[in-house]
Amino acid sequence: MAYRFDGKQKQLSFGAYPAVSLKDARARRDEAKALLAAGCDPAARRKQDRVESDALTKHTFRALGTEYLAKLVAEGRADSTVGSAKWLLEDFAYPALGDRPVAQIKPAEVLELLKKVEGRGTFETARRLRGICSRVFRYAVSTQKAEIDPTHPLRGALIAPKTRHHSAIVEPTAIGALLTAPWPAAGFVDAQLS
């Protein structure tokens, strides 16, 4: 179909003959003419629809989580940091959110996942899981694969883990005694000479 939009000559194809019947091609042409009448470029609309369709199939939470982990490795993050992030994503986030398009995940879905983890009594794990999911969503936003971070409204929704304080030596004389105490070296055997 040949048409003009914004003073420019353009063409639009609806597919090859055996694959697309003449009836289907005429129906698609009528849809394109309706878009032109509404002031919209049918080729631009088709391109936008294709991009949105690709976003639904290619940009899943699992795919972006894998990209984010690769980014952490490329940045030279510690193995323990990458391992912890991978554990949280693979054991908790991927089973619930992995195959969902990242742009369609809602805060309620993430909250349901977090509450399930929190329900086991692992408050710190739930807090860390929210953090890693947030970092994956922010990565998706920064790479223009999503528009928002659905974990942001969930701040304060989880039970804060109770902080446990450990005793410390605070008296200067006790610190000195600790520093001057003899520590056996690794592999050193205490032997008495007679």
Q: How far is CA 118 from CA 21, 88, 125, in A?
A: 55, 13, 8
Q: What is the pLDDT of residues 117-142, one digit of tens each?
A: 999 989 999 999 999 999 999 999 99
Share above pLDDT 90 across residues of the chain, in percent, rounded to a whole number: 41
What are the tokens at 124? 């710190």
Predicted pLDDT at 112: 94
Round to whole Å and give the CA distance between 135 and 86: 13
Q: How far is CA 121 from CA 125, 158, 162, in A?
A: 9, 11, 12
Tell me the angle at which helices 107-118 and 123-142 cross, rounded to the nearest 10 degrees. 160
Predicted pLDDT at 142: 93
Cα 2 vs. chain centroid, distance in angstroms?
Answer: 43
Q: How confident is the model at residue 185 (pLDDT cuts 50, 70, 90)?
A: low
Q: What is the dihedral of CA 70, 74, 77, 79, to 10 degrees?
A: 60
* Residue 3 β-bridge partners: 10
Predicted pLDDT at 166: 80
Cα 153 vs. chain centroid, distance in angstroms?
Answer: 16
Give the burial string for 162-174 (b: 16+ CB within 10 Å, else e): eeeeeeeeeeeee
CA angle 43, 46, 48 (to 5 degrees): 110
User: Please, which residues have CB within 8 angstroms of residue 147's CB and are 6 or more apart in sequence?
Assistant: 103, 141
Helix/strand/coil for 21: coil
Q: How confident is the model at residue 54 (pLDDT cuts 50, 70, 90)?
A: low
| String of DSSP letters for 84-131 | HHHHHIIIIIHHHHTTSBGGG--HHHHHHHHHHHHTTT-HHHHHHHHH
Residue 184 has pLDDT above 70, yes or no: no
Residue 191 has pLDDT above 60, yes or no: no
Q: What is the pTM of this model?
A: 0.62
The answer to whether 123 and 117 are in contact (CB under 8 A) is no
Helix/strand/coil for 177: helix
